[in-house]
Structure 1
């Protein structure tokens, strides 16, 4: 196997210069197959989310707060998956699983920042649905363009200082003995397993941050939905009820997929042999959800389907 690159520091402490991402290295015969699958997933994420960004920008009918958030969310999904997927593809293609200390830190930092952005943006979208359904008359007042921009900027930036701090804490730990990360990308818990000092303070801070950026948004989303559902049930006509439900249902599916898999990953008891399951779960919320989001949103949304049809017709006619 590869030799572990380390630098001797002082007497008996060794400092890790690079990590080896074990990923799916145990599945020797499936490397090519996995490469194919991840490539298809990545391309479909880029195309699916790219199309949503395009139609929400190009078509005037979609210049509303809801689609402004959609477009931002799709852009976020492209960024979020681009932090891990190109690296996973390279590892599978070259069979070189090493990742430098700095690259690993940058990867974790971006994952955390974009992950917190995702939680906050999903909360903003739930709030938008809440105002649409529960306060329709005040909607233009409450969700003015300025407010929408502020909400999006807030979602993208709030987590930055916290997550940079979190990453700094993890990577200032002394790592010893092993540099083998049992994961497909650099994530907090696999890194903490390799640390050779007391990690209780950092573990505590991880949970505090999770409460702030995962649990709190989730509770706010649930609150919005409780109000939305009680309002919908009071609507007199069934068509009104159906229309209101279909507005929210796609967002709700995405919320359940994302928060569900993230929560299970982070709150599962960590046994020594849970590596494979953890890898699959972490792939769920970093890769699989972003792949399904454009499908979930566009298939349940008449406006986006219309816009996509127009776009395809336009592309078809201009290529003749």
Structure 2
């Protein structure tokens, strides 16, 4: 799953008169032969180009990414374990937060270890199968996060707009059902796209000018007809990004109307504080997607697009545990108690 970015105009590097315009996607599309023909060698391994123009900054970038990745893993796992072991945090809001933190760990682990390798050695090889699997995991976890943010918006909506029915609408059992549905639906939706990716053929071109296997870099080197995948990805993006975003937006419009209707200033502040953490997570998640896939950029600025991808794949999961710790005092308080308990146990 990925929204078709503005630099998708470079989708085909072939020459000739085979270009067609897809108006709604703003894509120049070329339909090449579907088979590797004479003098064309089937590609089984790709070369990830990474950041070739940053030789002098290679080691500092490696160290920065390594530190950020360590904070991502440690910070999010702290959230997962704190909610897991603290009985007083067995609440839908914290369970949703736990799953979001877990998906952040998995998502960053799909991309960042290989990114570190490519940054250190300035390039890296990956089997075509591994490349498609990497995109599948990255896309799958992105869809999971979108759905989790949606059910978290529903949780905040019920808590503020219909508090008397909160315990019945969002019991622990219903909470786990929503979580299971989010993971299962993401798996089913993303699998439909990846099935078509495994049917692609790759001839001659084996260089991906990126630091990981995103969808369009994969399609760029394919020798098969990719039009159906482009349209399928467009439809999938509407289901997994646009519709959840609209649901979150409508939920928060209702929440704000309810909060503004509270007569006391103290009551308004208390109500807003219950959804401030989730609101920040929504801004970070969708803000990164908009910056990467919607904001126009120079078609030839591949390094600029790679840095945008870096923000989406590294800085977004890095910012989430910081948001938890700054905005969620109860979570931090329980974590400190657990640490103190462990220290006393060791003594």
Query: TM-score, normalising length from structure 1?
Result: 0.92
In structure 2, the CA distance between the partners of 1:102 and 1:198, relative to structure 1 (3 Å rule), is: closer
- Tell whether the 8 Å contact from 1:262 to 1:281 is kept in structure 2 after alignment: no
In structure 2, the CA distance between the partners of 1:267 and 1:175, relative to structure 1 (3 Å rule), is: farther
Corresponding residue for residue 147 of structure 1 = 174
Partner Cα separation in structure 1 for residue 180 and residue 333 of structure 2: 29
Structure 1 residue corresponding to 2:117, chosen from 83, 90, 94: 90
Corresponding residue for residue 56 of structure 1 = 83
Give per-residue Cα distances to partners, 1:3-51, cap 9 Å, x unaligned.
xxxxx95524332111111111221122221211111111101111111
- Distance apart, 1:94 and its partner CA: 4.0
Decide which structure has greater helix share.
Answer: 1
Is 1:122 aligned with 2:149?
yes
4+ runs deviating over 4 angstroms: 268-271
- Tell whether the 8 Å contact from 2:101 to 2:321 is kept in structure 1 after alignment: yes
Corresponding residue for residue 106 of structure 1 = 133
Corresponding residue for residue 174 of structure 1 = 201
Structure 1 residue corresponding to 2:288, chosen from 261, 277, 283: 261
Root mean square deviation of aligned Cα: 1.8
Partner Cα separation in structure 2 for residue 269 and residue 285 of structure 1: 16
Is 1:314 aligned with 2:337?
no
Corresponding residue for residue 5 of structure 1 = none
- Distance apart, 1:312 and its partner CA: 2.9
Corresponding residue for residue 16 of structure 2 = none
Structure 2 residue corresponding to 1:290, chosen from 317, 330, 333: 317
Give per-residue Cα distances to partners, 1:254-280, cap 9 Å, x unaligned.
111111221332235575413112112
Q: Which moved more, 1:189-198 or 1:116-125?
A: 189-198
Q: Which moved more, 1:69-78 or 1:271-280?
A: 271-280
- Tell whether the 8 Å contact from 1:170 to 1:188 is kept in structure 2 after alignment: no
- Tell whether the 8 Å contact from 2:49 to 2:122 is kept in structure 1 after alignment: no
Q: Which moved more, 1:100-109 or 1:20-29?
A: 20-29
Q: What is the number of equivalent residue pairs in this alignment?
A: 313
- Tell whether the 8 Å contact from 2:77 to 2:101 is kept in structure 1 after alignment: yes
Where relative contact order (Cα < 8 A, 6+ residues apart) is larger, the structure is 2
Partner Cα separation in structure 1 for residue 156 and residue 220 of structure 2: 41
- Distance apart, 1:120 and its partner CA: 0.3
Corresponding residue for residue 73 of structure 1 = 100
Partner Cα separation in structure 1 for residue 215 and residue 319 of structure 2: 25
Q: Which moved more, 1:120-129 or 1:308-317?
A: 308-317
Partner Cα separation in structure 1 for residue 43 and residue 196 of structure 2: 16
Structure 1 residue corresponding to 2:307, chosen from 280, 283, 297: 280
Query: TM-score, normalising length from structure 2?
Result: 0.85
Q: Which moved more, 1:30-39 or 1:309-318?
A: 309-318
Q: Which moved more, 1:282-291 or 1:309-318?
A: 309-318
The equivalences for 1:190-201 within 5 A come to 190-201=217-228
Structure 1 residue runs of 5 or longer lacking an equivalent are: 1-7
The equivalences for 1:219-238 within 5 A come to 219-238=246-265
Corresponding residue for residue 31 of structure 1 = 58
- Distance apart, 1:250 and its partner CA: 1.7
Give per-residue Cα distances to partners, 1:160-209, cap 9 Å, x unaligned.
12212212323423333422112111000111222234433221111111
In structure 2, the CA distance between the partners of 1:241 and 1:141, relative to structure 1 (3 Å rule), is: same
- Distance apart, 1:314 and its partner CA: 2.1
Partner Cα separation in structure 2 for residue 105 and residue 222 of structure 1: 33
Secondary structure of the 1:20 match is: strand
Structure 2 residue runs of 5 or longer lacking an equivalent are: 1-34
